[in-house]
Amino acid sequence: MLAGARSGRAASAELRGILITLAAMLLFGLMDAGSKFLSTRYPVPQILWLRYILTVPLLLIVLAPGGLARRLRSARPGLQVGRALLLVVEIGLVVWCFGQLPLADVHAVLALTALAVTALSVPLLGEQVGPRRWAAVGAGFFGVLVILRPGPAEALNIGAILVIVSCALSGATTLMVKDLLRTESSNAVVTYMVLLMTPISLAPALFVWSWPEPWTWAILIGMGLVATIGHICITHSYKLAEASAVLPYDYTRMIFAAAIGYLWFAEIPDLWTWVGAGIIAASAIYIAHREALYGQASASQSATGPAAMPPARPVPADERRD
């Protein structure tokens, strides 16, 4: 009965994690639409700084009641700074690309992030990636080619290239978050992100500053609000459920982006965008499925092993060959 209660609590936590992920994807879709709208009117560094400077007071309002000083304690401030630097570059590239490509196309390519995490886990975490998972990564990149369909005149489309670069950076920062969550709270990770990215993004913004028109402040404040809530949601979802459980729902962000792009910018994704996005999503979900199988196998071995034997350990990354 006790095991059943634990299983029920785990399933409930997983469902909450999934629902929070869906909410975060919708919020991020709205934030990205605002960035796309402003990117054709203001310099990208300025958009980033304004977004984060307006996020700071919202974040303080949300987190201060729990004790801000306690949330700012960090065992690894250097990793927090490194993540913030990469995020400024990554998000700056994505915002610039929003002004160059349809919203759904950018998000379809950004789905490569999950595959980038797998590829980067080799040099950054020393994991072994076997032929099946490398095949999934390769299929994901094929999906990008289906979406972009580069011909001779588009072989060096700078927008497409920068989206792919941002995916690699996003994969690196995702691995940093997973590492940070071993020692830091989800609120601390979000707080450091906003507090560090604000001054970092200010330096380039000063060189291209153009004072916003009064009506744009409403969009900027709305972006700051949804960004704060979205980051808190997505980080908290990793606390409630395994990454392999919530990962497939990250791809609803493209659905939300496509709907918002149609309603706001009259953008209609073509068939090949959906086909390529499906290939990318299927590849990433396969990798998540393999991760889940290893977790279940390790748990099963521990539960059914002889009483005199020590619990079976999880399969280390360097012993995996899938």
Q: Which residue has the higher pLDDT, 7 or 263?
A: 263
State the pLDDT at residue 89: 93
Among 16, 19, 37, smallest CA distance to 27 is for: 19
State the pLDDT at residue 85: 93
Quick one: what percent of the chain has pLDDT higher than 70?
76
The answer, yes or no, to whether residue 297 has pLDDT greater than 90, is no
State the pLDDT at residue 86: 93
For the segment 95-145, what is each residue's pLDDT rounded down to a tens digit?
888 888 888 888 888 877 777 777 777 776 666 777 777 788 788 878 877
Place of tokens 């999950």: 114
Which uninterrupted H or E stretch holds 263?
helix 252-265
For the segment 248-296, what is each residue's pLDDT rounded down to a tens digit?
677 788 888 888 888 888 888 888 888 888 888 788 777 766 666 655 4
Give the separation between CA 297 and CA 303, rounded to whole angstroms: 10
Residue pair 92/45 in contact by the 8 Å Cβ criterion: yes
130 — phi, psi (to 5°)?
A: -80, 180
Among 151, 28, 166, 155, smallest CA distance to 97 is for: 166
Q: Could you say which DSSP state residue 318 is in? A: G
Give the separation between CA 149 and CA 132, rounded to whole angstroms: 25
Among 102, 96, 108, smallest CA distance to 40 is for: 96
The answer, yes or no, to whether residue 154 has pLDDT greater than 90, is no
Q: Which residue has the higher pLDDT, 18 or 60?
A: 18
Between the two ends of the chain, the Cα-to-Cα distance in Å is 36
- The length of the chain is 322
For the segment 122-131, what is each residue's pLDDT rounded down to a tens digit?
776 666 777 7
Structure tokens at 7: 């299983």
State the pLDDT at residue 277: 82
